[in-house]
Chain A
Amino acid sequence: MGANSSLRDKFERGLAAPICLTWELTYACNLACTHCLSSSGRRDPKELNTDEAKALIDEIAAMQIFYINIGGGEPMIRRDFFEIIEHAVNQKVGVKFSTNGTRIDAEAAKKLAAIDYLDIQISIDGADAETCDKIRGEGSYAAARLAMDHLRDANFGEFKISVVMTRDSIEQLDEFEAIAKHYGAQLRLTRLRPSGRGVDVWDELHPTQEQNRRLYKWLMERPNVLTGDSFFHLSALGDPLDGLNLCGAGRVVCLIDPIGEVYACPFVIHDEFKAGNVRDAGFNAVWTESDLFTSLREPGNPGACGSCGSYDACRGGCMAAKFFTGLEMTDPDPECVFGHGETALAAKKVMLIPKPSPDHSKRVPVSINSK
């Protein structure tokens, strides 16, 4: 996309409707990934019901939001999953959904292949079972690969393989590329955030400075690898990565959670970033009128980054990454490529790391084979 800077300034003041709207359909999940950014596991009894979900889609269509990203939890666990996505695509609201693949058998793959305006992202967090299952649970890698096989056999077309970049997975970039090539799939890499349960594993799993530099170079050589604009903090290393290169929270991005709460972005499911609920006056009212989103659209204070020559490239980095590592919004990104984030973290004498507000984690360990 490569938006020029004047367009980026306009995006920072907010759009009439989001470009990238994520809707977590359910907190229920049959896996328990260690880095789950929505702390999913158990279904919330207040989950939007089918009629409410459809009404929300109607509003999304009326706002001309052209596509939505559906996630969870595991969205395919909902019994009305197909009903909901069909309701969206029938009104030309494209659907891109993220899944662990466990519910994609041969029959589901055929059903999915028959739907237009549908993109699927299957998550793996390692290019082999050992690396992946360490994060996503035993059997998760095999299940995801089986789902990919089914999609290929059903002639779904080009699906996406989504990988969170950890200290381990970042060493397997070429292997992920080979897996994607094997299926004719598109590779999508995203940043590990200290959000949700990720707050507990971020310290040991987030990439090192050296790994981030390698990743930047690798991505610059592969503009076709998707990143969801997630590595814009690395753009301070040189030419900007493909994407808008800004924090879109509440400006071009937001998240609707399973019970209708609207948060500034998928990585800040926390009371401090909650703008309202779609059950009150609808989603449009939250997007256009909420105090939180209004304040996020005001010109930001560059804070400690103001004197850095690269501020224009990285804009101080990711709000969520700062918040959940205990940094202030005016501090550098904890993974600042010049190491200013590490210095800021070290300077915090008492680390008061905010815990994610709603936690739907299962209380007992789960395995993929358990009912």
Chain B
Amino acid sequence: MSLSTSVIFDASAPWSLSSQVSLRDEAFGALAYHHGNRRLVFLKSRELVAILRSLENFNSVNEAIDAVVPNEHDRYVEAVGALVKSDIICGR
């Protein structure tokens, strides 16, 4: 399994949820499972899940975040960026 540890996360660029990832809603947020690298990741807020699901409709991660949680922008840039290393999201 190869993880894209070298990919640099740029929140002003367009990203999307990997086509290999399934999301399962849970009371705390969701489980994200990557069928390729078999990683299971816990998404700890429903807002984060909403942002991930909408990523492909926006031209940047920043815009996707501001549409859901404009007051917590920086925190969510960090949360979305943390998903790069497990390939949950990828650049497009």
Contact = CB atoms under 8 A, between A and B. Distances in A.
Contact of A1 (B25, B33, B42, B44): B42
A13 B27 contact: yes
Contact of B27 (A3, A10, A67, A94): A10
Contacts of A92: 22, 35
Interface string A4-23: 00010010010111010000
A64 interface: yes
Contacts of A7: 28, 42, 44
B22 A19 contact: no
A117 interface: yes
Nearest to A96: B38
Nearest to A244: B42
Interface of A: 1, 3, 7, 10, 13, 15-17, 19, 64, 66-67, 92, 94, 117, 119
Contacts of B35: 66, 92, 94, 117
A117 B22 CA distance: 14
A112 to B, nearest CB: 16
Contact of B31 (A19, A94, A117, A119): A19
Interface string B16-53: 00000010111110010101001010101000000000
Contacts, number: 36
B40 A66 contact: yes
21 contacts: A1-B40, A1-B42, A7-B28, A7-B44, A10-B27, A15-B26, A16-B25, A16-B26, A19-B31, A19-B40, A64-B24, A66-B22, A66-B24, A66-B31, A66-B33, A66-B35, A66-B40, A67-B38, A94-B35, A117-B35, A119-B38
Contact of A10 (B25, B28, B33): B28
A119 B24 CA distance: 22
Contacts of B25: 16
Contacts of A19: 31, 40
A290 to B, nearest CB: 18
Main secondary structure on chain B at its contact with chain A? strand
Interface residues of B, number: 13
Contacts of A94: 35, 38
Nearest to B39: A1
B83 to A, nearest CB: 14
B2 to A, nearest CB: 13
A61 to B, nearest CB: 10
Given A1-B42, A92-B35, 6 more contacts: A16-B26, A19-B31, A64-B22, A66-B40, A67-B33, A119-B38
Contacts of A1: 40, 42
Nearest to A63: B24
Contacts of A16: 24-27
Contacts of A3: 42
Nearest to A17: B24
B87 to A, nearest CB: 15
Contacts of B40: 1, 19, 66
Nearest to B32: A66
Contacts of A67: 33, 38
Contacts of B44: 7
Contacts of B22: 64, 66, 92
A3 B28 CA distance: 12
